[in-house]
């Protein structure tokens, strides 16, 4: 994998972390329901963003440290586990947020 591809991959992980951070910001300004519930959802979104960034950095380290095949291309396992983990966590937090906002109105 070329350096430009690695950089694009790392940037994609970082862009993916912006979604939960944006949701956390919206929750801070949406005055619905108890404050403790909003704070917990904001914390969950920020934690999810940090985990996504960590997964992306871990993936980048794995790509950089991995060997090459006979044609000189870097071979590394696919990112299915990381992507599914992030998607499941994001879905759970989104459902929690929807339920919280639904009950708060």
pLDDT by 10s per residue, the chain, length 105: 556 666 777 788 888 888 888 888 888 887 777 778 888 888 998 999 999 899 888 888 877 777 566 676 666 777 788 888 888 888 888 888 777 777 655
What pLDDT, on a 0 to 100 scale, did the predictor assign at position 69? Answer: 66
Half-sphere exposure of 72 (CA within 13 A, CB side): 1
| Helix 3-29 × helix 80-104 angle, to 10° | 10
What pLDDT, on a 0 to 100 scale, did the predictor assign at position 47? Answer: 92
68 bridge partner residues? 74
Q: Which CA distances in Å does 73 have to 27, 34, 61?
A: 44, 53, 16
CB 20 within 8 A of CB 49: yes
User: Any alpha helices (H) in the chain, and if so which ranges?
Assistant: 3-29, 35-65, 80-104
């Amino acid at each position: 994998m070329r350096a430009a591809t690695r950089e694009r991959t790392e940037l994609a992980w970082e862009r993916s972390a912006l979604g939960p951070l944006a949701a956390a910001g919206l929750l801070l300004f949406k005055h619905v329901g108890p404050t403790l519930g909003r704070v917990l959802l904001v914390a969950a979104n920020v934690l999810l963003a940090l985990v996504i960034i960590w997964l992306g950095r871990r993936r980048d380290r794995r790509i950089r440290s991995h060997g090459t095949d006979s044609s000189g291309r870097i071979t590394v396992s696919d990112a299915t586990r990381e992507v599914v983990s992030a998607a499941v966590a994001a879905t759970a937090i989104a459902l929690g947020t929807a339920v919280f906002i639904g009950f708060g109105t």
